[in-house]
């Protein structure tokens, strides 16, 4: 409270019996309580109390110094960092559900293998282009071995002739 | 050396620093606890427990409030715990106690009798009011510190103080 407020209150209290009594009440009880009566306790009492306290802590370990935590400067993160991880996670989940082979939302409908076998090369290439497949499925070692086993025993001349027919040179 | 330096010394293992802190604060802590409990012998017990606990938790003293306030907080918690453990008897509201049954001390001076009677009345105040008036008048803490210690608003502390004084005056026959 500033000086003018205080002066205003004091002038009011001087004129108002009720407020004067209330103020006296507020000062009265604390004034009694504030009176120190420790004089009844002599120095021997305080010394004995001190000795009792020090005796109790004498065998205690020293209060361990707090281990200082490495302080990390506070860095305010940009707002997008709060929602971006959630967005990335949601996208990943959606992609997994959409693109898994037996998923319900397959991007490319499966074509029966027997049907593929019946298609000629230009048709297969066209389908591959449509499906966005850039390279034909790689043959496994077993499939290659089976195909080779199916080839009849040909002479070198016959093989050269076949190579020329399919456009492969210098086998 | 100020309190913070003594605390640092005690943490470093110099018990003489803690003894200086005890010597510096044992009287005000004792006065506070005695006024709060109204029992000198129990107050002595609480003061000893307060300083032992303060020593073992010295590293928790952050220095953002005076050491004395921190000690008062520990002392009042000790007093509450001890009182809770000991007080199992039935309590009677002070308003129901006859004037002549209020605490009296034989052979004491008029001032001493008045203080002891007041101490008995304070012991009957509701806990919040008792704590606030004791911390304010005996502990000489500002309302802001009292509010922090008790986890209440400063305004709430002031209101509790006013109610305590009004009630004490009534009980003392001064209201």
Instruction: Inform me whether the pLDDT recorded for A34 exceeds 60.
Output: yes
Of A30, A46, A54, the CB nearest to B27: A46
Same domain, B142 and B75: no
Q: What are the residues whose beta carbons fall under 8 Å from the beta carbon of B51, sequence distance 6 or more?
A: A53, A57, B22, B26, B29, B71
Residue A3 located in a structural domain:
yes
Inter-chain residue contact B137 with A64, CB threshold 8 Å: no
Residue B116 lies in a domain: yes
Cβ-Cβ contacts under 8 Å, B125 against chain A: none
Domain count, chain A: 1
Taking only the tens place, the pLDDT of each residue in A65-99 is 544 444 454 555 666 777 788 888 888 888 887 77
Rounded to the nearest 5 degrees, what angle is found at the Cα of B127, between the Cα atoms of A37 and B81? 85
Asked if B169 and A63 come within 8 Å (Cβ–Cβ), the reply is no
Q: Does the structure show a pLDDT above 50 at B11? A: yes
A36 — pLDDT class (breaks 50, 70, 90)? low
Residue A72 in domain: no
Between residues A60 and B27, the one the model is more confident about: B27
pLDDT given at position A17: 86
> A137: pLDDT confidence band, cut at 50, 70 and 90?
very low
What is the pLDDT averaged over residues A1-29?
Answer: 81
Chain B contacts to A (CB-CB under 8 A)? 10-13, 15, 18-19, 22-23, 26-27, 30-31, 35, 44, 47-48, 51-52, 55-59, 111-112, 114-115, 118, 122, 133, 136-138, 162, 165-166, 168-169, 172, 174-175
**Per-residue pLDDT, B51:** 95
Q: CA B159, B164, B169: angle at the middle one, nearest 5? A: 130
Q: What is Dmax (Cα atoms) for chain A?
A: 135
How far B105 CA sits from the closest chain A CA (Å)? 14
Rounded Cα distance, B69 and B55, in Å: 15
Whether A38 and B27 lie within 8 Å, measured CB to CB? yes
Distances (CA, A) of B139 to B57, B68, B106, B133, B154: 21, 9, 27, 9, 16
Angle, alpha carbons A14-A16-A20 (nearest 5°): 70
Range of the domain at B128: 110-175
Which range is least confidently modeled, A61-75, A151-165, B67-81?
A: A61-75
| CA dihedral angle for residue B8, residue B14, residue B20, residue B26, rounded to 10 degrees | 80
A111 within some domain: no
pLDDT (average), residues A6-26: 82
The answer on pLDDT for B100 being more than 60 is no
Q: Is residue A26 within 8 Å of B162, Cβ to Cβ? A: yes
Write the pLDDT tens digit of every residue in A115-128: 555 666 666 555 55
Residue B93 lies in a domain: no
ipTM: 0.78
Residue B80: inside a domain, yes or no? yes
**What's the pLDDT score for residue A103?**
54
Res. B139: pLDDT tops 80: yes
Query: Phi and psi dihedrals of B2, rounded to 5?
Result: -85, 175
- The total domain count for chain B is 2
Residues in chain A with CB shorter than 8 Å from the CB of B169 are 25, 28-29
Q: What is the pTM of this model?
A: 0.58
Q: Do B111 and A35 touch (CB under 8 A)?
A: yes
């Amino acid at each position: 409270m500033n000086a003018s407020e205080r002066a205003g209150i004091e002038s009011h209290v001087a004129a108002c019996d009720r407020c004067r009594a209330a103020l006296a009440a507020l000062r009265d009880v604390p004034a009694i309580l504030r009176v120190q009566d420790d004089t009844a306790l002599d120095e021997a009492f305080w010394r004995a109390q001190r000795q009792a306290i020090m005796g109790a802590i004498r065998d205690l370990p020293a209060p361990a110094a707090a281990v200082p935590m490495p302080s990390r400067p506070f860095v305010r993160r940009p707002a997008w960092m709060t929602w971006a991880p959630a967005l990335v996670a949601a996208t990943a989940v959606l992609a997994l559900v959409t693109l898994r082979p037996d998923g319900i939302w397959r991007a490319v409908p499966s074509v029966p293998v027997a049907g593929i076998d019946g298609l000629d090369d230009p048709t297969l290439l066209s389908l591959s282009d449509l499906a966005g497949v850039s390279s034909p499925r790689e043959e496994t070692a077993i499939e290659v071995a089976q195909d080779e086993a199916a080839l009849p025993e040909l002479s070198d001349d016959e093989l050269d002739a076949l190579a020329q027919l399919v456009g492969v040179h210098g086998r | 050396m100020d309190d913070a330096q003594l605390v640092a010394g005690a943490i470093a293992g110099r018990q003489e620093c803690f003894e200086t802190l005890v010597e510096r604060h044992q009287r005000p802590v004792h006065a506070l606890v005695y006024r709060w409990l109204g029992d000198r012998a129990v107050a002595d017990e609480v003061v000893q427990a307060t300083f032992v606990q303060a020593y073992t938790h010295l590293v928790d003293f952050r220095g953002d409030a005076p050491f004395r306030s921190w000690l008062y907080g520990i002392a009042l918690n000790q007093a509450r715990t001890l009182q809770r453990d000991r007080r199992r008897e039935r309590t009677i509201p002070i308003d129901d106690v006859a004037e002549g049954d209020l605490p009296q001390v034989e052979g004491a001076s008029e001032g001493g009798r008045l203080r002891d009677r007041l101490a008995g009345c304070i012991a009957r105040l509701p806990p919040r009011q008792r704590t606030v008036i004791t911390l304010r008048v005996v502990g000489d803490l500002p309302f802001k510190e009292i509010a922090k210690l008790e986890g209440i608003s400063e305004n709430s502390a002031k209101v509790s103080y006013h109610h305590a004084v009004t009630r004490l005056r009534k009980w003392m026959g001064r209201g």
